[in-house]
Structure 1
Amino acid sequence: MRYFEDLAIGEKAAFGHYAVLRDEVLDFARRYDPQPFHLSDEAAAGTHFGRLAASGWHSCAMTMAMLVEHMKADPQAALGAGGVDELRWLKPVYPGDTLRCETELLDKRRSESKPALGFLRTRLVAYNQHDEPVLSFIAQALIRVRGEG
């Protein structure tokens, strides 16, 4: 288990492997983002996507799945997220793509009002199989301080 003091600003990690499946793209779109270019090859052909593309929200969900798997392999004393800043969908994600992630710890600070807590800001970038960034964001998270609380 890694705590606030175990993490260094500038620390990087690379992880994940997520195969984007057509049926999953369609299912997610039907349930949560039923825009035509997420539901049909024909509708997508007439857009800048050119073909069926995953919802940006689905891309975020796939990224979260990889992040959770990474946290199981490298556990931290995390207490949840405090939000996401600067979310950008940089390139469409298509069925057949394979995604992976890279993170970098941008900064950290200990809470002044709750000394058992620390705050982290981490940049996450998801890439496709061509090493092209497809999304990025800055995550705010809470983490325990060793021996506190």
Structure 2
Amino acid sequence: MKKQWYFDDFVPGQEIELGERTVTEDEIIAFATQFDPQPFHIDREAAAKSIYGGVIASGWHTCAMMMRIVLDGMGCEEASMGSPGLDGVRWLQPVRAGDTLSVRYVTKEVKPSTSKPDRGVVFSTWVATNQRGEDVCTIDGKAMFKRRMEHGAA
């Protein structure tokens, strides 16, 4: 059984390796066709003539894949309470068919709620790296997590 992460489990400075996912060209084109239909995401010929030299994943697709890796890797089903938002997203390198992304979750800060003792906010940076060790995307954000029972969680 995988670990269920609660607010109390996060410590500033910790880095958590969460898993990986390999993306296919069919996935890239399907996502972009529905949500980001720019030619370099959906049209092989146009993409080959673009500055990218081939089809690349939408940045939003990269973020969605990262989200899936985080959820699968952290087992947040019991303790996640959602997110009040992101502070930044950076697309550093194109993601191409055949790339395998791995995600590292870096805890920056933890703040217990002063008004609701059953929860806290975790400030983090997610870093997606491809199989060549290149960082391809970073997400700076925050998430609310339940605290464990001994801290007043229901």
Task: Report the Cα offset of residue 75 of structure 1.
Answer: 6.7
> How high is the TM-score relative to the length of structure 2?
0.88
Q: 8 Å contact 1:29–1:54 — kept in the other structure?
A: yes
Q: How far apart, CA to CA, are the structure 2 residues paired with 1:100 and 1:2? A: 19
Give 1:31's aligned residue.
Answer: 34
Q: 1:136 to 1:76 in 2, by over 3 A?
A: farther
Task: Report the Cα offset of residue 115 of structure 1.
Answer: 2.0
Q: Percent identity?
A: 39
> How high is the TM-score relative to the length of structure 1?
0.91
Give 1:19's aligned residue.
Answer: 22
Q: How far apart, CA to CA, are the structure 2 residues paired with 1:6 and 1:65? A: 20
Instruction: Trace 1:23-102 onto structure 2 (pairs within 5 A).
Output: 23-72=26-75, 77-102=79-104
3-state DSSP of counterpart to 2:81: strand
Q: How far apart, CA to CA, are the structure 2 residues paired with 1:21 and 1:117? A: 38
Give 1:134's aligned residue.
Answer: 136
Number of aligned pairs? Answer: 148
Amino acid at match of 1:26: I
Q: 1:120 aligns with which of 100, 119, 122?
A: 122
Q: 8 Å contact 1:66–1:101 — kept in the other structure?
A: yes
Amino acid at match of 1:25: I
Give 2:12's aligned residue.
Answer: 9
Q: 8 Å contact 2:122–2:143 — kept in the other structure?
A: yes
Runs of 4+ in structure 1 deviating by more than 6 angstroms, as ranges, are none
Root-mean-square deviation (CA, aligned residues, Å) is 1.6
- Unaligned 5+ residue runs, structure 1? none
- Unaligned 5+ residue runs, structure 2? none
Q: How far apart, CA to CA, are the structure 1 residues paired with 2:66 and 2:5? A: 22
Q: 8 Å contact 2:126–2:140 — kept in the other structure?
A: yes
Indicate the structure with greater strand content.
1
Amino acid at match of 2:113: S
